[in-house]
Amino acid sequence: MTAELQTASGIRGHILNISDLPTELLINVLSRVSSDTPWRMVDLALVCRAWYAVTKHSSAFWANVVSNTWRFPSLSIISSDALRTRFLGTYASALKRSLPYYLDISLDISQFLELNMSGASKSTLLWMLAPPSKRLVSLSLVISSESDLQQFYDFLSLDLCALEELSLATPPLTLSNFAGAVLVLPLPMPEDLEYRQLPSSALPHLYTLRVTGFLFGPWLARPSLKHLHLVGADATARISDRVRTGGLLLGGLQGCPNLETLEVVNTFPVWTMPYEVPVVDAWPHSHALQKLRSCTVRDEPEWAIKFVKYLHNAPLPASATLDVTLVSPQSSTPSGGPGLSYPHKLPDDMEILFFTEHLCALAFRRRGDTVPIRMELDTALRVYAGDRKRVELKFTPQLLAQSRKRYGLTFPETLVTQIMANPELARTFDDRTLRPEIAELVVDLGDRLTDKLWWQLFFRFFGHVRRLEVRARDALSLFQFLSGKPKDLSADQHLSFLVAARSLPSEEFVEAFTLVGVDFRTQGSDEGEIARMVVDAFVRRKAEGLVVPKEVTLRYRGARRPAFEERVSSGLDGVVRCVVVGSS
């Protein structure tokens, strides 16, 4: 088995044999040879003397082998007792030969558990890692969801003094495996291992934990943890990935006081057991998550918003960034106990208020924070405190498309409508003493011809912002609302518009108003009528003694229209202090 490498810059086309490579490079090449029967790695010694020296005497070679080649044993390795025994022996020998190097181990042991009458046998693949436990730096395991977790608890209680990263996952469990049957997920009892803390001496340098929600609980919580990832797959494919109860989730988070990053993806728990109520009640006073810098939440709206409530009650530090992505609700988890079936679809009439007062508070009103707020609203909501992004709320493309198809609304329209639909949240924006102080708001409506009545809600909640920039190709409905002259409305709608236009904040109003991107070719009326609407909107307010913007900027698309610019500029002369009109 010989291979030859042509040197990149050899003299006279010199051919370099692989056996002539420097020892360090030869070790890296040979240790990446893959095989369905890894014990045959020792057969590399039969090729030549140089390879024999590497496989017989190089600890670095065997450290690379167990860290790279034997990541996921093939099922053919454990198809018989003889093969299993041979593999375990060879693997143990490789681990021993890797001394004194540190190890990065990744193994799928979900099919490799050996049980006897007294429980888990310590001759399993997992316990092959016990002798080199002090040399483990990173460990990634795929374990069976039916496994006896006691053996993993015992293993993690070993002297894993160098372990910095730990990953625990379970094999895929799909609904197709249980077609026509009831899927039962076991719920924990107070005496179960998941509620038990590891010894205080265990895992002293564990900084990163990535774990399937089903396995998470206080037993995996460590004071040293800085990065926690609770990650499940798509909700329809991995319903068993979710944390089983609220007590396990909150109890586990309380045991990680030094967390800096937290990721919770498709794993929010469904139930809270009666005996966990004290843990849930104590959560707001537990001082958890106080060092958190970044939190990512991705789940169906119902579950994501429940977790946001926990974050608000923690409370989340003022400097932490919260990134929330709502996914399309394809499946629903029951609110009762075990033994209930999982319907594939949510009811068609299921509507969830995803923009809640808790999320609003995390976006605009965190404790001890007085920095100016900047808000962006387009296909997502982004809130900045100074130059730091505080909150980003968005839909997945699938959910965005479903929402648009079902309700006919863009994301900005949906969010403002949600504020109106939530009485507590609407009160927050209506009450001058409670509403968020927003220094700047940029709303991008794209090509959307926004409903005329929507602007009534928008200015009810955001008419107080200091600087407002609206980006839209067609702003006819905005002009109609501001001028109080809507067209093509019924008598009742027309009266509603007049009342709404005159009920805009009188003691305060947008100080700087900017409209960008209007394309007159898409408008339903000529530029003269639009100019009159723009002027009337602010002249009327001025005449009635109401506040008008100090600055008005209009940037339209296309070739310059001097007549339009002159009508607006001259019409607002003496009404608005600074007027800028021009083509962009």
Closest C-alpha to 314, from 339, 347, 292, 346: 292
CB-CB contact of 240 with 274 (8 Å):
no
3-state secondary structure of 306: helix
Sorted by sequence, the CB contacts under 8 Å of residue 120 that are 6+ apart come out as 113, 114, 147, 148, 150, 151
> What would the pLDDT profile of 271-285 be if each residue is shown by its tens digit?
889 999 999 999 999
Closest C-alpha to 425, from 454, 401, 460: 460
Q: Write the DSSP assignment of 394-433 as a string of letters.
A: EE-HHHHHHHHHHH---HHHHHHHHHHH-HHHHHHHH-TT
CA distances from 214 to 201, 229, 292, 405, 443 (A): 25, 13, 23, 35, 40
- Quote the CA–CA distance of 211 and 87 in Å, as a whole number: 27
3-state secondary structure of 230: strand
Longest dimension (CA), the chain: 99
Alpha helices by DSSP H, listed for 65-221, are 81-97, 149-156
Residue type (1 letter), 524 = G
Structure tokens at 443: 């709303």
Structure tokens at 532: 């009159």
pLDDT for the residue 359 = 96
CA distances from 521 to 212, 517, 531 (A): 54, 12, 15
Sorted by sequence, the CB contacts under 8 Å of residue 334 that are 6+ apart come out as 270, 340, 341, 342
> What would the pLDDT profile of 376-432 be if each residue is shown by its tens digit?
999 999 999 988 999 999 999 999 998 888 888 899 999 999 999 899 999 999 888
- Quote the CA–CA distance of 170 and 214 in Å, as a whole number: 8
Residue type (1 letter), 342 = Y
pLDDT for the residue 185 = 65
- Quote the CA–CA distance of 466 and 508 in Å, as a whole number: 9
Could you tell me the residue ranges of all domains in the chain? 102-173+192-283, 293-332+350-424, 439-583
Structure tokens at 314: 């923690």
pLDDT for the residue 232 = 82
CB-CB contact of 313 with 282 (8 Å):
no
Closest C-alpha to 407, from 357, 457, 352: 352
Percentage of the chain lying above the pLDDT 70 cut: 77
Residue pointed to by tokens 């021993």: 96
Give the dihedral sign, CA 42/44/49/51.
negative
- Quote the CA–CA distance of 110 and 268 in Å, as a whole number: 24
CA distances from 578 to 186, 356, 455, 531, 551 (A): 67, 38, 24, 16, 5
pLDDT for the residue 181 = 47
- Quote the CA–CA distance of 329 and 230 in Å, as a whole number: 19
Structure tokens at 366: 């965190």
Sorted by sequence, the CB contacts under 8 Å of residue 429 that are 6+ apart come out as 419, 435, 436, 460, 461, 462
Angle at 531 between CA 525 and CA 534, to 5 degrees: 110
Beta bridge partners of residue 518, listed in sequence order: 556
Residue type (1 letter), 387 = D
Q: Parallel, antiparallel, or unpaired for β 119-120 and 115-116?
A: antiparallel
Structural element, H or E, at residue 580:
strand 578-583
How far separated are the first and last CA of the chain, in Å rounded?
68
Alpha helices by DSSP H, listed for 431-526, are 454-462, 476-483, 491-502
pLDDT for the residue 338 = 40
pLDDT for the residue 270 = 80
Tell me the residue length of the chain: 584
- Quote the CA–CA distance of 497 and 504 in Å, as a whole number: 11
Say if residue 121 is exposed, middle or buried (CB neighbours under 10 Å; 0-12, 13-18, 19+): middle
Residue pointed to by tokens 């143990």: 92
Q: Tens-of-pLDDT digits for all 584 residues of the chain?
A: 444 344 434 444 555 566 667 777 777 777 666 555 555 666 777 677 777 777 777 788 888 888 876 665 555 566 677 777 777 787 888 899 889 999 999 888 876 654 433 444 444 778 889 999 999 999 998 887 767 788 899 999 999 999 999 999 887 755 444 444 455 667 788 888 999 999 999 999 999 999 999 899 999 999 999 999 999 865 444 567 889 899 999 999 999 999 999 999 999 988 889 999 999 999 999 989 999 999 999 999 999 999 999 999 998 998 999 999 999 886 544 433 443 333 333 333 336 789 999 999 999 988 777 788 999 999 999 999 988 999 999 999 999 998 888 888 899 999 999 999 899 999 999 888 888 999 999 999 988 888 878 998 899 899 899 999 999 988 888 888 887 655 555 555 555 544 544 455 556 789 999 999 988 765 555 788 888 888 988 998 888 888 899 999 999 988 888 999 999 999 999 999 999 999 87
Closest C-alpha to 394, from 324, 307, 329: 324
3-state secondary structure of 128: helix
- Quote the CA–CA distance of 109 and 130 in Å, as a whole number: 15
